[in-house]
Structure 1
Amino acid sequence: MSQPKQRYSNTPEVPIRPETLRNAANWTPPTVDEISEVLNRAGIKWGQLAVMTGNPEAVVVSWKEGKEKISYMAWRYICESAGYGRIDRV
Protein backbone atom coordinates (compact mmCIF):
# COMPACT_ATOMS: atom_id res chain seq x y z
CA MET A 1 0.00 0.00 0.00
CA SER A 2 1.19 3.49 -0.81
CA GLN A 3 1.88 6.20 1.73
CA PRO A 4 -1.05 8.65 2.00
CA LYS A 5 -0.62 12.29 1.11
CA GLN A 6 -0.02 15.06 3.65
CA ARG A 7 -3.06 16.38 5.52
CA TYR A 8 -4.55 19.80 4.71
CA SER A 9 -5.93 20.45 8.19
CA ASN A 10 -4.83 21.05 11.74
CA THR A 11 -7.73 19.02 13.17
CA PRO A 12 -6.87 15.78 14.98
CA GLU A 13 -5.93 13.00 12.57
CA VAL A 14 -8.43 10.17 12.19
CA PRO A 15 -6.83 6.73 11.74
CA ILE A 16 -8.08 4.80 8.72
CA ARG A 17 -8.92 1.18 9.58
CA PRO A 18 -7.13 -1.35 7.33
CA GLU A 19 -10.40 -3.16 6.60
CA THR A 20 -11.64 -0.06 4.74
CA LEU A 21 -8.66 -0.24 2.37
CA ARG A 22 -9.40 -3.66 0.84
CA ASN A 23 -10.94 -4.97 -2.35
CA ALA A 24 -14.72 -4.87 -2.68
CA ALA A 25 -15.20 -8.51 -1.64
CA ASN A 26 -13.39 -7.99 1.69
CA TRP A 27 -14.21 -4.33 2.31
CA THR A 28 -15.74 -2.72 5.37
CA PRO A 29 -17.35 0.67 4.62
CA PRO A 30 -15.63 3.64 6.28
CA THR A 31 -17.13 5.89 8.92
CA VAL A 32 -18.00 9.50 8.14
CA ASP A 33 -14.86 10.56 10.04
CA GLU A 34 -12.71 8.24 7.92
CA ILE A 35 -14.26 9.61 4.73
CA SER A 36 -13.57 13.17 5.92
CA GLU A 37 -9.95 12.27 6.72
CA VAL A 38 -9.34 10.75 3.28
CA LEU A 39 -11.05 13.70 1.58
CA ASN A 40 -8.76 15.99 3.57
CA ARG A 41 -5.67 14.12 2.42
CA ALA A 42 -6.93 14.18 -1.19
CA GLY A 43 -7.60 17.92 -1.01
CA ILE A 44 -11.25 17.29 -1.93
CA LYS A 45 -14.19 19.03 -0.28
CA TRP A 46 -17.47 17.24 0.39
CA GLY A 47 -19.18 19.64 -2.03
CA GLN A 48 -16.91 18.51 -4.88
CA LEU A 49 -17.52 14.82 -4.31
CA ALA A 50 -20.81 14.61 -6.23
CA VAL A 51 -19.30 15.93 -9.45
CA MET A 52 -16.08 13.96 -9.07
CA THR A 53 -17.83 10.63 -8.49
CA GLY A 54 -20.90 11.14 -10.69
CA ASN A 55 -23.30 10.84 -7.77
CA PRO A 56 -26.26 13.15 -7.07
CA GLU A 57 -25.62 15.74 -4.35
CA ALA A 58 -28.38 14.18 -2.24
CA VAL A 59 -26.46 10.89 -2.19
CA VAL A 60 -23.25 12.61 -1.09
CA VAL A 61 -25.16 14.49 1.62
CA SER A 62 -26.52 11.15 2.88
CA TRP A 63 -22.92 9.86 3.11
CA LYS A 64 -21.80 12.99 4.95
CA GLU A 65 -24.69 12.73 7.41
CA GLY A 66 -24.06 9.01 7.96
CA LYS A 67 -27.51 8.03 6.65
CA GLU A 68 -26.07 5.87 3.86
CA LYS A 69 -22.73 4.11 3.38
CA ILE A 70 -20.42 5.50 0.69
CA SER A 71 -20.22 3.39 -2.45
CA TYR A 72 -17.11 1.29 -2.88
CA MET A 73 -16.26 2.98 -6.20
CA ALA A 74 -16.47 6.48 -4.70
CA TRP A 75 -14.37 5.39 -1.71
CA ARG A 76 -11.80 3.76 -3.97
CA TYR A 77 -11.58 6.95 -6.06
CA ILE A 78 -10.92 9.23 -3.09
CA CYS A 79 -8.48 6.74 -1.54
CA GLU A 80 -6.47 6.69 -4.76
CA SER A 81 -6.62 10.52 -4.91
CA ALA A 82 -5.33 10.65 -1.33
CA GLY A 83 -2.33 8.47 -2.14
CA TYR A 84 -3.47 5.15 -0.65
CA GLY A 85 -2.90 3.38 -3.97
CA ARG A 86 -5.15 0.82 -5.66
CA ILE A 87 -7.19 -0.54 -2.77
CA ASP A 88 -8.98 -2.92 -5.13
CA ARG A 89 -5.76 -4.96 -5.31
CA VAL A 90 -5.39 -5.43 -1.55
Structure 2
Amino acid sequence: MSHPNIRLECLRPAESWSQPTGEEVREVLRLAGFTGGAAAKRLGLGAKGDRTVRRWIGEDSHIPYAAWALLCDFAGLGQIWKN
Protein backbone atom coordinates (compact mmCIF):
# COMPACT_ATOMS: atom_id res chain seq x y z
CA MET A 1 0.00 0.00 0.00
CA SER A 2 1.26 3.49 -0.71
CA HIS A 3 0.52 6.91 0.71
CA PRO A 4 0.85 10.30 -1.03
CA ASN A 5 3.04 11.78 1.74
CA ILE A 6 5.45 8.82 1.96
CA ARG A 7 7.85 7.91 -0.84
CA LEU A 8 7.40 4.44 -2.28
CA GLU A 9 11.08 3.61 -1.70
CA CYS A 10 10.45 3.97 2.06
CA LEU A 11 7.81 1.23 1.89
CA ARG A 12 10.03 -1.59 0.63
CA PRO A 13 11.76 -4.60 2.19
CA ALA A 14 15.03 -3.79 3.97
CA GLU A 15 17.35 -4.74 1.12
CA SER A 16 15.84 -2.09 -1.20
CA TRP A 17 14.65 0.41 1.43
CA SER A 18 15.42 4.13 1.58
CA GLN A 19 15.59 5.98 4.90
CA PRO A 20 12.43 8.06 5.52
CA THR A 21 12.58 11.77 6.18
CA GLY A 22 11.51 13.23 9.49
CA GLU A 23 8.26 14.36 7.87
CA GLU A 24 7.60 10.83 6.67
CA VAL A 25 8.18 9.50 10.19
CA ARG A 26 5.77 12.16 11.50
CA GLU A 27 3.17 11.15 8.90
CA VAL A 28 3.39 7.45 9.82
CA LEU A 29 2.95 8.35 13.49
CA ARG A 30 -0.10 10.44 12.58
CA LEU A 31 -1.61 7.62 10.51
CA ALA A 32 -1.05 5.21 13.39
CA GLY A 33 -2.63 7.66 15.84
CA PHE A 34 0.54 7.70 17.96
CA THR A 35 2.23 10.41 19.93
CA GLY A 36 5.98 10.04 20.22
CA GLY A 37 5.53 8.53 23.67
CA ALA A 38 2.89 6.06 22.49
CA ALA A 39 5.11 4.97 19.59
CA ALA A 40 8.06 4.52 21.96
CA LYS A 41 5.97 2.27 24.22
CA ARG A 42 4.65 0.16 21.33
CA LEU A 43 8.19 -0.25 19.98
CA GLY A 44 9.63 -1.09 23.42
CA LEU A 45 12.12 1.77 23.36
CA GLY A 46 12.32 2.18 27.13
CA ALA A 47 12.10 5.13 29.51
CA LYS A 48 13.59 7.75 27.18
CA GLY A 49 12.07 6.33 24.03
CA ASP A 50 10.02 9.44 23.32
CA ARG A 51 13.31 11.34 22.96
CA THR A 52 14.46 8.74 20.44
CA VAL A 53 11.29 9.25 18.41
CA ARG A 54 11.80 13.03 18.49
CA ARG A 55 15.35 12.50 17.18
CA TRP A 56 13.95 10.47 14.26
CA ILE A 57 11.44 13.23 13.45
CA GLY A 58 14.11 15.91 13.77
CA GLU A 59 16.48 13.86 11.58
CA ASP A 60 19.10 13.92 14.33
CA SER A 61 19.31 10.13 14.05
CA HIS A 62 18.11 7.49 11.59
CA ILE A 63 15.16 5.29 12.37
CA PRO A 64 16.08 1.59 12.29
CA TYR A 65 14.34 -0.39 9.57
CA ALA A 66 12.62 -2.71 12.07
CA ALA A 67 11.08 0.22 13.97
CA TRP A 68 9.99 1.87 10.72
CA ALA A 69 8.46 -1.37 9.42
CA LEU A 70 6.46 -1.87 12.61
CA LEU A 71 5.23 1.74 12.56
CA CYS A 72 4.14 1.31 8.95
CA ASP A 73 2.20 -1.80 9.91
CA PHE A 74 0.57 0.01 12.87
CA ALA A 75 -0.33 2.85 10.46
CA GLY A 76 -2.12 0.46 8.10
CA LEU A 77 0.50 0.67 5.34
CA GLY A 78 1.05 -3.08 5.41
CA GLN A 79 3.90 -5.39 6.30
CA ILE A 80 6.56 -3.70 4.21
CA TRP A 81 9.15 -6.37 5.01
CA LYS A 82 7.21 -8.81 2.79
CA ASN A 83 7.43 -8.65 -1.00
TM-score class, shorter-chain normalisation, is 0.7 to 0.9
Q: How many residues align?
A: 80
Listed one character per residue, the Cα deviations across residues 34-76 of structure 1 (whole Å, up to 9, x for unaligned) are 0111111111111222211122424223212211111111111
Unaligned runs of 5+ in 1: 5-13
Q: Is the 8 A contact 1:46 1:64 kept in 2?
A: no
Q: Is the 8 A contact 1:39 1:78 kept in 2?
A: yes
Structure scoring higher RCO (CA < 8 A, sep ≥ 6) equals 1
Separation in 2 of the partners of 1:70 and 1:42?
Answer: 16
CA RMSD of aligned residues (A): 1.8
* % same residue: 38
Mapping of 1:5-84 within 5 angstroms? 15-55=5-45, 56-57=48-49, 58-84=51-77
Larger Rg: 1
Unaligned runs of 5+ in 2: none
